[in-house]
């Protein structure tokens, strides 16, 4: 028999190489190739004279089963899922350690169990005693869910197959699972993939909604091969700053719905509380106008969320390289905005340290935030506070132009409802609203004129 060939699999993109290399040829990541147990090699051509059965080709408009959704018992979770959990679907829940994934899923599992849907929670990380302790702290000790501490996929499937399938199966986490169909330690690429594959197959065959918890690496991607993201129907990310109270649940991929709505939670002493009206959440404690602080009306799906952006500029005396530090926004975008402010408005940040922070642990992804960040930077540089009740939004181009953004009217109406009296944004034919004056700014120099 021919000696089985060694194979090396990239932990980022899952591509296979026949020899080890420092850099993956497909995704260009460094040090991501790991050796995998050799698999069986099949002949690359099917013998069509045996086996095989034709599949039926259907019309696109053939009648199909309507999509059923079931409530998780947490309205914010349902919202992020696009209206509830779909039986037979596989969900990957990513998030940093300690952010609250286990807490969220225990709460959802308990709520579903209480509503009469059979639920199983498998913990591969904590002993049942620890999970029980948490349940007691959350006031959920009485929920009728099935709990087990297990890491062997064979044991888990044997247990599940000996009873009617549950409506929800939580596996916390996929990196701790071990399948004996394949070699390798738990957490290795091949193990994560094989374990996920078996659990997902069980879920699909039995109409079980499966949630796999996945750890996240430093750069925010779910540890293990990217293929895990392709194998599941929904990829969710649970985000927030551990030092802050608020948590955001976001769908990054959803085969059953839109990915724009978010779920908002607050981590409290007795678990995660749902925040159904998040619009004022990230604005806490703004009583006096302060230089370097601006308010941005972000839009999360259909809900506006007002967020405070804070900038601090420290002039350096020596010729040391100035620092730029960003929390909650893209650092590349900040570098671009600073360059545009220098090139188009004649402001100089080159000998100053620039710190930017989005309040409350919120992470801004909306391109309309550019103008609010620029306003905070200019205000900090000039040491001039912005009006306390003003909002700023608009996308900034490399030429310094302020571009129109989606849903400007919705952003203004929400701000007006919450007592803001000034709106500054693109010149987009927007008008004053009841109680709110609107100023259209065509470019960044106009913004600087308004502030300084
Ligand atoms: P956990 O759900 O264990 O996070 P993950 O599974 O994502 O690693 O949550 C851990 C943190 O949540 C822990 O640091 C303490 C905090 N926490 C609370 O503040 N209140 C609570 O009621 C619970 C259960 C946890
Ligand atoms: Mg956990």
Residue 223 confidence (pLDDT): 59
Residues whose CB is less than 8 angstroms from the CB of residue 210 and which lie 6 or more positions away in sequence, other chains included:
89, 90, 91, 168, 169, 171, 199, 200, 202, 203
What pLDDT was estimated at residue 243? Answer: 81
Q: What is the pLDDT of residues 91-111, one digit of tens each?
A: 999 998 899 999 999 999 999
Please state the pTM of the whole predicted model: 0.79
**Average pLDDT for residues 349-366, to the nearest whole number?**
91
pLDDT of residue 36 exceeding 60: yes
Looking at residue 24, what is its pLDDT? 85
Task: Point out the ligand nearest to the CA of residue 106.
Answer: 1
Look at residue 425 and tell me whether its pLDDT is greater than 70.
yes
Q: Which two tokens stand for residue 264?
A: 């908002």
Q: Which atom of ligand 1 lies closest to the CA of 104?
A: 2
- What pLDDT score does 287 carry? 79
Q: Please work out whether the CB of residue 97 comes within 6 Å of at least one atom of ligand 1.
A: yes
Who wins on pLDDT, 301 or 334? 334
- Domain segments of the chain as ranges: 1-39, 75-276, 293-451
pLDDT per residue as tens digits for the range 151-199: 999 999 999 999 999 999 999 999 999 999 888 888 788 889 899 999 9
Say if CB 70 and CB 78 are below 8 A apart. Answer: no
pLDDT attached to residue 31: 85
Name the CATH topology of 75-276.
Rossmann fold (3.40.50)
Give 366 Cα–ligand 1 centroid separation in angstroms.
28
Ligand 1 close to Cβ of residue 123 (< 6 A): no
* Binding site membership of 403 for ligand 1 (Cβ less than 6 Å): no
- pLDDT of amino acid 356: 97
- The answer to whether the CB of 157 falls within 8 A of the CB of 202 is yes
Between residues 344 and 15, which one has the greater pLDDT?
344
Q: What is the pLDDT of residues 313-333, one digit of tens each?
A: 999 887 788 899 999 999 999
> Which pLDDT value is given to residue 49?
78
pLDDT value at position 44?
66
47 pLDDT above the threshold of 80 = no
Would 75-276 and 293-451 be classified into the same CATH topology? Answer: no
Least confident of 73-77, 125-129, 303-307: 303-307
pLDDT band at 297 (very low <50, low <70, confident <90, very high): very high
Q: How far apart are CA 180 and CA 172, in angstroms?
A: 19
- Ligand 1 site, residue 94, Cβ cutoff 6 A: no
With contact defined as beta carbons under 8 Å apart, do 244 and 281 qualify? no
Arithmetic mean of pLDDT, 112-131: 96
CB count, 10 Å around CB of 338? 21
Which residue puts its alpha carbon closest to atom 11 of ligand 1? 98
- Both tokens of 393, joined, read 């939004």
Q: 29 or 271, which is more confident?
A: 271
Give 342's pLDDT tier (boundaries 50, 70, 90): very high
Dihedral in degrees, nearest 10, Cα atoms 371, 336, 292, 427: -20
Annotated binding-site ranges for ATP: 95-102
The pLDDT of residue 313: 96
Q: Which residue from 102, 103, 106, 138 has its CB within 8 A of the most atoms of ligand 1, so it is best to mutate?
A: 103
Compute the distance from residue 445 Cα to the ligand 2 centre, in Å: 49
294 lines ligand 1 (CB under 6 A): no
Is the Cβ atom of 255 under 6 angstroms away from ligand 1? no
391, two tokens: 């909002």
Return the pLDDT at 32. Answer: 82
Q: Is the backbone of residue 118 left (phi > 0), alpha (psi -120 to 50) or beta?
A: beta
Give the C-alpha separation, 72 to 120, whole Å.
13
- Among the atoms of ligand 1, which is closest to the Cα of residue 137? 22
Please state the residue numbers annotated as binding site. 95-102
Lowest mean pLDDT among 26-35, 204-213, 230-239, 261-270: 26-35
> What proportion of the chain, given as a percentage, has pLDDT over 90?
62
- Ligand 1 atom having least distance to the Cα of 97: 8
Residue 173 alpha carbon to ligand 2 centre in Å: 7
Q: Residue 216 and residue 210: Cα distance in Å, rounded?
A: 19
> Domain 293-451 adopts which CATH fold?
Ribosomal Protein S5; domain 2 (3.30.230)
Nearest ligand (C-alpha, residue 101): 1
Predicted local distance difference test score (pLDDT) of residue 57 = 92
More confident residue, 385 or 259: 385
Q: What is the pLDDT of residue 219?
A: 63
pLDDT value of residue 319: 77
The pLDDT of residue 3 is: 60
Instruction: Please count the CA atoms within 13 angstroms of the CA of 34 that sit on its side-chain side.
Output: 16
d(CA 91, CA 99) in angstroms, rounded, equals 18
Q: Give the residue, 334 or 228, on which the prediction is more confident.
A: 334
Tens of pLDDT, residues 223-249:
565 678 889 999 999 988 888 888 999
Q: What is the pLDDT of residue 310?
A: 95
> Using one digit for the tens of pLDDT, what is the confidence trace for 389-423?
999 999 999 999 999 999 999 999 989 988 899 99
Res. 39 pLDDT band, cuts 50 70 90? low
Q: CA dihedral in degrees (103, 109, 111, 116; nearest 10)?
A: -170
Is the pLDDT at 126 greater than 90? The verdict is yes
Q: What is the residue-averaged pLDDT of the chain?
A: 90
Q: Which of the two residues, 215 and 337, has the higher pLDDT score? A: 337
Is 215 a pocket residue for ligand 1 (Cβ < 6 Å)? no
Provide the CA 365 distance to its chain's centre, in angstroms. Answer: 11
- At 321 the pLDDT is 85
């Amino acid at each position: 028999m021919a000696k089985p060939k060694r194979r090396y699999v990239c932990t980022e993109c899952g591509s296979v190489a026949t020899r080890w290399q420092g850099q993956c040829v497909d995704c260009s990541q460094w040090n991501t190739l790991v050796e995998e147990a050799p698999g069986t090699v099949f002949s690359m051509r099917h013998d069509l004279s045996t086996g095989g059965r034709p599949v039926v080709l259907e019309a696109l408009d053939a009648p199909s089963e309507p999509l059923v959704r079931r409530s998780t018992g947490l309205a914010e979770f349902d919202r992020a899922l696009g209206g509830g959990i779909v039986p037979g679907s596989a969900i990957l829940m990513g998030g940093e350690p300690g952010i609250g994934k286990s807490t969220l899923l225990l709460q959802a599992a308990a709520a579903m169990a209480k509503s009469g849907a059979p639920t199983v929670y498998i913990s591969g990380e904590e002993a049942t005693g620890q999970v029980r302790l948490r349940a007691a702290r959350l006031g959920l000790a009485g929920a009728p869910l099935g709990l087990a501490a297990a890491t062997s996929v064979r044991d888990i499937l044997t247990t599940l197959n000996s009873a009617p399938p549950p409506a929800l199966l939580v596996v916390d986490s996929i990196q701790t699972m071990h399948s004996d169909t394949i070699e390798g330690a738990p957490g290795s690429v091949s193990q994560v993939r094989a374990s996920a594959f078996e659990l997902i197959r069980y879920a699909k065959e039995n109409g079980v909604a499966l949630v796999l918890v996945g750890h996240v690496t430093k750069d925010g991607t779910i540890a293990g091969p990217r293929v895990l993201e392709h194998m599941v129907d929904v990829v969710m990310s649970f985000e927030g700053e551990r030092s802050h109270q608020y948590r955001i649940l976001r769908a990054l991929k959803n085969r059953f719905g839109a990915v724009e709505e978010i779920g908002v939670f607050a981590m409290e002493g007795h678990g995660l509380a749902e925040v159904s009206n998040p619009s004022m959440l990230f604005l806490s404690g703004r009583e006096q106008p302060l230089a370097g602080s601006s308010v941005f009306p972000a839009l999360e799906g259909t809900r506006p969320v007002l967020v405070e952006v804070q900038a601090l500029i420290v002039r350096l005396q020596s010729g040391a390289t100035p620092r730029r530090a960003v929390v909650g926004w893209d650092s590349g975008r900040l570098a671009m905005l600073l360059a545009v402010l220098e090139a188009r408005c004649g402001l100089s940040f080159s000998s100053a340290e620039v710190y930017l922070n989005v309040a409350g642990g919120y992470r801004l992804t909306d391109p309309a935030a550019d103008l609010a960040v620029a306003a905070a930077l200019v205000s900090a540089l000039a040491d001039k506070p912005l009006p306390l009740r003003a909002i700023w939004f608009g996308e900034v181009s490399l030429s310094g132009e302020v571009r129109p953004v989606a849903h400007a009217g919705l952003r203004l109406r929400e701000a007006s409802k919450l007592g803001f009296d000034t709106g500054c944004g693109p010149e987009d034919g927007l008008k004053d609203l009841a109680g709110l004056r609107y100023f259209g700014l065509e470019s960044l120099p106009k913004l600087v004129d308004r502030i300084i």
